[in-house]
Amino acid sequence: DSGVTQTPKHLITATGQRVTLRCSPRSGDLSVYWYQQSLDQGLQFLIQYYNGEERAKGNILERFSAQQFPDLHSELNLSSLELGDSALYFCASSSGQGAGNSPLHFGNGTRLTVT
Amino acid sequence: GQNIDQPTEMTATEGAIVQINCTYQTSGFNGLFWYQQHAGEAPTFLSYNVLDGLEEKGRFSSFLSRSKGYSYLLLKELQMKDSASYLCASGGYSGAGSYQLTFGKGTKLSVIP
């Protein structure tokens, strides 16, 4: 158990809809990262928050947004969903400010299916 | 930007040794990670190299050569439970100017009896 909690585990929704994925980091970790994993693309970095502030941005679509709250939990909002958004969405946390100098600890992911 | 290459698939025999290679091109490089991921599960951290050389941790070892942009993960005394994908990841500056951890597509290792 990594200590990172993600909900829900599974989500099935229709094209055009909006969903919210939730993540609680490990106790003491200030950084939260969101990754998307699809079969052909591997793990793609979306966005990172550190202590409530956006720290780094990857290939995140404009239809997607995220935030980190004062209690350090984070939410990833996906809107105007398309079939291609179907993927595993992972949240990870770390103690450091920036990726690359401390390991990321991953939650069990949310499997999103868009029909 | 960042680019990471690793073989797509490998097969090895139970009890044997296998080496999974990874090459990377990373601006502002500051660390190389290896993760293990079983199908449908979360990636779990295996090792971290920031300096050149070999880091040993039980049956797993990881090597880094920064000048060559090269790393490998060595798995000894393979067990059936080692069948998984192994992800190489490097920390560095992305094309968008932010600092991030970029993952390779993973090497799917199959351990056969």
Q: What is the pLDDT of residues A4-61, one digit of tens each?
A: 999 999 999 999 999 999 999 999 999 999 999 998 778 999 999 999 999 988 889 9
- pLDDT tens for A86-108 read 999 999 999 887 777 788 999 99
pLDDT of B78 reads: 98
| pLDDT value at residue A99 | 72
- Do B33 and A90 lie within an 8 Å CB cutoff? no
pLDDT at site B3: 86
Q: How far apart are CA B83 and CA B53, in angstroms?
A: 26
The confidence score (pLDDT) of residue B1 equals: 60
What torsion do the CA atoms of B35, B38, B41, B44 make, to the nearest 10 degrees? -20
What are the pLDDT tens digits along chain B (113 aa)? Answer: 678 999 999 999 999 999 999 999 887 787 899 999 999 899 999 999 999 999 999 999 999 999 999 999 999 999 999 999 999 999 887 666 677 888 999 999 999 99
Q: Taking a C-beta distance cutoff of 8 angstroms, is the pair A59, A41 a contact?
A: no
Residues of chain A contacting residue B62, judged by C-beta atoms under 8 Å apart: none
> Looking at CA atoms only, how far is residue B26 from chain A in angstroms?
11
pLDDT in tens, A1-13: 889 999 999 999 9
Helices (H) and strands (E) in chain B, counts: 0, 10
pLDDT computed for residue B62 by the predictor: 97
The pLDDT of residue B96: 62
Number of residues written out for chain A: 115
- The alpha-carbon gap from A53 to the nearest alpha carbon of chain B, in Å, equals 14
Contact in structure between A47 and A54 (CB atoms under 8 Å)? yes
What is the C-alpha to C-alpha distance for residues B109 and A109, in angstroms, rounded to an integer? 22
Vertex A10, ends A80 and A27: CA angle to 5°? 100
Q: According to the model, what pLDDT value does residue B97 have?
A: 62
What is the pLDDT, as a whole number, of residue A60?
92
Instruction: Tell me whether residues A98 and B41 touch, CB distance under 8 A.
Output: no
Please report, for residues A53, A64, B61, the alpha-carbon distance to residue B19 in angstroms, rounded to integers and kept in the order given. 40, 38, 9
